[in-house]
A = this chain, B = another copy of it.
């Protein structure tokens, strides 16, 4: 049989993260590469209890569910979002298989081949893969420590007439940065004025370090949900556990209804077991207390990694201390190619993600993403030491 695949397959580049994970499997490599939450803080007893409560309700819990998602869970999430000044009803929300699926469904609903999507520079690599699979024309907007450069955003909107922009304004993957309030408001204003939809991806927003500055979602700054210029997506993967694979999207009910039609064709609905269990978790577990625990532990780990990086004092190397999330983004001197560096690093017994995959265009090859949530302190010390040997050699 000669398999004749669709042209979509030409758009799929294989993911650097996955290739690295393959390299590191079964070896004694310290991985600072993955975007994994720390298992230590998975609330397994509460999750077990939540499933048990679901089974107590009887056999009908095992039946097919609505494509839109389990209604009581949508109610629970809507209530949870009120803390974030987000006010939506169940018809403004779709439950998805992780927020990854929400990005995919919105893209299918909005994007024809050749349509332009503006993204941050750098941005989440799996989002780039999704946009490529729909043959979108992906264009990067310049960014600094405060978020998107509003002049460059406006310029690129005038030049390229995008249908959509994709942003992770709060504790971004990979850069770890948090946009200033002014940039959030400015981006919203520019997009509204130019009729460009904003996809605001917020998987890390709950993982805020310290008690200071708050970071309101762009969605909460717009009139919402009806007529909103923003579709907002988030997930339980980072605040409860990834195995339950449950995320959600909120937005104008028309957009959500179209995403629901796309989901009906995609997989009918997400696991109803997981959805029912998460609803029980909201009822019988102090989720917000748990989030506080996770973020204080992650903050400790972030400081440990920052201290280790400071000690190395690599010449010409920069990073921004993250105000939340899971990642530190390193810029090494311009002549260093981190994809080359990775090969030596793996031999030395440490892995990271080379930055190039996070650029939709003109990759900055001297960058890398380090994860600080998954590796315990002793291993982190050893991992950064190994990295030091490789970087010293390259410098």
Contact = CB atoms under 8 A, between A and B. Distances in A.
B228 A245 contact: no
Given A1-B229, A109-B8, A245 B267 contact: yes
Interface string A371-389: 0000000000000000000
A104 B197 contact: no
Interface centre among A1, A12, A112 (most CB of B within 10 A): A1
Given A4-B110, A197-B1, A271-B274, A261 B62 contact: no
A98 interface: yes
A69 to B, nearest CB: 12
A39 to B, nearest CB: 5
A6 B321 CA distance: 39
Contact of A267 (B97, B112, B277): B97
A137 interface: no
A272 B55 CA distance: 18
B36 A62 contact: no
Interface string A275-289: 011000000000000
A229 B100 CA distance: 31
A9 B271 contact: no
B55 A36 contact: no
A244 B5 CA distance: 30
Interface stretch (A45-53, A177-185, A355-363): A45-53
Contact of A100 (B36, B63, B268): B268
A6 B111 contact: yes
Given A5-B109, A245-B269, A52 B48 contact: yes
Contacts of A111: 6
A215 interface: no
Given A129-B264, A133-B265, A262-B133, A245 B270 contact: yes
Interface stretch (A206-214, A252-260, A294-302, A312-320): A252-260
A26 interface: no
B64 A36 contact: yes
Given A1-B197, A62-B47, A109-B9, A97 B258 contact: no
Interface string A52-88: 1001001111111100000000000000000000000
A12 B255 contact: no
Counting chain A residues whose Cβ lies within 8 A of the other chain, the interface size class is 35 or more
A156 interface: no
Given A265-B129, A267-B245, A4 B64 contact: no
A2 B1 CA distance: 47
A51 B243 CA distance: 13
A376 to B, nearest CB: 14
A241 interface: yes
A261 B163 contact: no
Contact of A39 (B7, B62, B65, B276): B62
B243 A273 contact: yes
Interface centre among A34, A262, A267, A277 (most CB of B within 10 A): A267
Given A12-B261, A97-B270, A266-B266, 20 more contacts: A4-B163, A4-B195, A5-B109, A12-B262, A12-B265, A36-B63, A39-B59, A39-B60, A44-B62, A48-B51, A48-B55, A64-B242, A104-B265, A104-B266, A126-B265, A242-B272, A243-B272, A245-B269, A245-B273, A273-B277
12 contacts: A1-B227, A1-B252, A3-B252, A6-B111, A8-B262, A18-B264, A63-B243, A97-B268, A133-B265, A245-B270, A266-B266, A273-B277
Ranked 9 nearest A-B pairs via Cβ: A62-B241, A243-B272, A271-B271, A97-B267, A101-B267, A42-B62, A48-B55, A64-B242, A62-B243
